A and B are shown apart, each in its own frame.
Chain A
Amino acid sequence: MNVTQILFWFLSVLALFSALMVVTSKNPVHSVLWLIVTFFAISGHYILLNAQFLAIVNVIVYAGAIMVLFLFVIMLMNLNKSTEPKKNKWLTLAGGVAGGCLLLVLVAALKNSEIKQQVAQVKEGDIGLIKNLGNELFSTYVVPFEISSILFLSAMVGAVVIGKKE
Chain B
Amino acid sequence: MPVNYYIFLCLALFCIGIVGVLTRRNAIIIFMCIELMLNAVNLLLVAFSKMHHAANAAANATAGTDGQLFVFFIMVVAAAEVSVGLAIIVMMYRNIHSVDVNFLNRLKH
Q: Which residues of A contact B (CB under 8 A)?
A: 4-5, 8, 12, 15-16, 19-20, 22-23, 28, 31-32, 35, 38-39, 42, 45-46, 49-51, 53-54, 57-58, 61-62, 65-66, 69-70, 73-74, 76-77, 79, 84-85, 87, 91-92, 94-96, 98-100, 102-103, 106-107, 110, 113, 115-116, 118-122, 125, 127-128, 132-133, 136-137, 141, 144, 148, 151-152, 154-156, 158-160, 162-163, 165
Q: Other CB < 8 Å A-B pairs besides A62-B78, A73-B90, A77-B90, 17 of them? A: A22-B33, A23-B16, A23-B33, A31-B32, A38-B36, A50-B50, A53-B68, A53-B72, A58-B39, A76-B90, A119-B3, A136-B65, A151-B77, A154-B80, A155-B84, A162-B84, A162-B88
How many residues of chain B get a CB closer than 8 Å to chain A's CBs? 73
A2 to B105, CA, bound (A): 53
- Do B19 and A99 have beta carbons less than 8 Å apart? yes
Q: Which of B43, B64, B76 contacts A151 (CB 8 A)?
A: B76
Interfacial chain B residues near A35, Cβ < 8 Å: 32, 35-36
The 7 closest A-B pairs by CB, nearest first: A95-B22, A99-B19, A155-B80, A95-B23, A23-B20, A103-B15, A159-B87
Q: Which residues of B contact A (CB under 8 A)?
A: 1-9, 11-13, 15-20, 22-26, 28-29, 31-33, 35-36, 39, 42-43, 46-51, 53-55, 57, 62-66, 68-69, 71-73, 75-84, 86-91, 93-94, 99-100
- Do A103 and B80 have beta carbons less than 8 Å apart? no
Interfacial chain B residues near A141, Cβ < 8 Å: 69, 73
- Do A16 and B83 have beta carbons less than 8 Å apart? no
Interfacial chain B residues near A12, Cβ < 8 Å: 5, 9
